[in-house]
Amino acid sequence: NHDYAISYVLGLSHVLNIAFAKVLSSSGENKDLLSNLSSTTFKDQLDVAKRVTDENPHLYYEIQYLNKFSLKTISELSNAIKEIFDFIDSGDEDGFVQLMDQSRSYFSEK
């Protein structure tokens, strides 16, 4: 289903980057300082988040609102963040590593 796939291709990537930007903008941390301290991963994420936030917010809202699968995908993201939070909060390194291994295997599938 096209809309289902688009909820991941556009919806998930947009929401993830909007949330990333929201956390940073609410943090009170100086963006230039963070950029100067950043790793390659953080710099890449900053670049993507900046491009997303530079886009038309009304269009991005419509992409989310008009796709009937958006809330499911956002819920999956929320659940994944909660799962990671719980592993860290409880000191469950094995669970955290298993989650990362499972994620890695997705990208190594042919």
DSSP 10: I
Domain that holds residue 100: 2-108
- Tally of domains within the chain: 1
- Look at residues 86, 80, 87 and name the one whose alpha carbon lies nearest to residue 103: 80
**Separation between Cα atoms, residue 44 and residue 16, nearest integer Å:** 14
Angle at CA of residue 86, ends 81 and 88, nearest 5°: 95
Q: What is the value of pTM for the model shown?
A: 0.89
pLDDT in tens, 39-89: 999 999 999 999 999 999 999 999 999 999 999 999 999 999 999 999 999
- Specify the CATH number for the domain of residue 39: 1.10.3660.10
Strand, coil or helix: 44: helix
Taking 80 as the threshold, does the pLDDT of residue 110 lie above it? no
pLDDT at 18: 98
